């Protein structure tokens, strides 16, 4: 046998040993989820947009100031899914799909497909150029699925996916960077009633979540749209609201959330063996904003990273922005996204909250199903 053949055999053996070690780690993890698969937008993007041509990026300072440096996360520290992953005992943070290192045995613990600017509808986020909407994220998951089959076979792959945790954080951009885009969307708002726009979102979301189920997902957390009228960006765009949140964006978010809850109920009934969780992040974040002082925050309305606007919401966070020194005292990191401190509260309520926060069970309880 040639030296080259010996090397190939040695590489194959080492790869199989590493794969077996990862599988054993999975079996004896603190909680019973073997892997964590994340779909979503900038609220949970872990750096996928670093690798595409997009105006929606966070791979520069001061983003990540409390994470050790910028990673592509749109916050000062960790995202909600980062914190949940830590609490569930996963080895490290779930890596972004587009990172060159997210290959081989590493994907057996899960992959993050989320993309800043992404949405349910494919036209959402056009103003950013590059972004990965939910349909494309599902395409990427299909690629990962094939990689897992190549590693462990189809039967083991299905068992892995059926016991893993899947989360989908989508919908905010369909409003902020589609239906409510300043100037650009004026004609759409005139021609398309809000009810019709929401109906189109729900119809597409039904197809996408069904596809996710058909690809092997069974334990699926679907996060609703938060109180987008309360983010610094919308507050500054709607100055007549004064100290209050902007009414119309919140009304549409609530309209979507009502339809989303019905959709989740329908899918739970029609897709046998599925466990869909409805995460009411609107309720959680609204509660934090309305009672920010009791949570230890000094501000529930202004961005910590700011440049212009009464609430710091008119210019995205960037190298020229000013940054508040006590970041843990702000609910919002920038014009759009929560701070690490707010994300901790949201994550823990999804992990351990009652059925008003997440229905019909929390993530800890899902781990034991």
Cis amide prior to 62 (ω within 30 degrees): yes
Choice among 337, 339, 340, 357 that is catalytic: 337
Prior bond of 247 cis (ω within 30°): no
DSSP state of 294: G
> DSSP letters of 295-319?
GT-SEEEEESEESSSTTS-SS---T
> Helix (H, G, I), strand (E, B), or coil: what is residue 241?
helix
* Rounded Cα distance, 297 and 337, in Å: 15
**Given 42, 115, 274, 301, which residue is catalytic?**
42
315: its two tokens: 């210019």
Residue 147 designated active-site: no
C-beta neighbour count of 204 within 10 angstroms = 18
CA angle 44, 50, 56 (to 5 degrees): 70
Distance CA 300, CA 323 (A): 16
Q: Indicate if 337 belongs to the active site.
A: yes
Catalytic residue among 334, 339, 340, 357: 334
Number of Cβ within 10 Å of residue 52's Cβ equals 17
Give the total residue count for the chain: 369
Please report which helix (H) or strand (E) contains residue 147, including its range.
Answer: helix 134-152
H or E stretch including 39?
strand 36-40
Backbone angles phi, psi at 343, to 5 degrees: -60, -35
In the numeric block, which tokens belong to residue 293?
Answer: 């002082």
Which positions are catalytic? Answer: 42, 334, 337
């Amino acid at each position: 046998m040639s030296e080259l053949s010996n090397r190939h055999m040695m590489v194959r053996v080492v790869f199989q040993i590493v794969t077996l070690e990862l599988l054993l780690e999975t079996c004896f993890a603190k909680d019973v989820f073997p892997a964590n698969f994340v779909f979503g937008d900038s609220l949970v993007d872990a750096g996928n947009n670093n690798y595409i041509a997009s105006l929606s990026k966070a791979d520069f300072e001061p983003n990540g100031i409390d994470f050790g440096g910028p990673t592509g996360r749109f916050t000062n520290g960790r995202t909600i899914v980062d914190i949940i992953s830590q609490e569930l005992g996963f080895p490290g943070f779930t890596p972004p799909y587009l990172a060159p290192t997210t290959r081989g045995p590493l994907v057996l613990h899960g992959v993050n497909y989320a993309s800043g600017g992404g949405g349910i509808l494919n036209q959402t986020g056009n103003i950013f150029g590059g972004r990965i909407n939910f349909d494309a994220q599902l395409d990427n998951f299909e690629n990962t699925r094939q990689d897992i089959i190549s590693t462990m076979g189809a039967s083991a792959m299905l068992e892995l996916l059926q016991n893993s945790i899947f989360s989908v954080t989508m919908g905010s951009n369909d409003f902020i960077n589609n239906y409510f885009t300043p100037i650009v969307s004026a004609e759409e708002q005139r021609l398309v009633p809000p009810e019709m726009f929401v109906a189109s979102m729900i119809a597409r979301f039904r197809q996408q979540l069904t596809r996710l189920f058909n690809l092997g997902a069974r334990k699926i957390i679907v996060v609703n749209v938060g109180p987008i009228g309360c983010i610094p960006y919308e507050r500054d765009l709607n100055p007549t609201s004064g100290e209050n949140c902007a009414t119309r964006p919140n009304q549409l978010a609530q309209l979507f959330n009502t339809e989303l809850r019905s959709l989740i109920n329908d899918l739970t009934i029609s897709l046998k063996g599925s466990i869909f969780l409805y995460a009411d992040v609107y309720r959680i974040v609204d509660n934090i904003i309305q009672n920010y002082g009791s949570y230890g925050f000094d501000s529930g309305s202004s961005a910590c990273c700011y440049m212009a606007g009464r609430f710091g919401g008119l210019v995205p966070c960037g190298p020229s922005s000013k940054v508040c020194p006590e970041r843990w005292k702000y609910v919002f990191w920038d014009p759009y996204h929560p701070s690490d401190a707010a994300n901790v509260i949201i994550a823990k309520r999804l992990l351990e909250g009652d059925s008003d926060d997440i229905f019909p069970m929390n993530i800890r309880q899902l781990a034991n199903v």
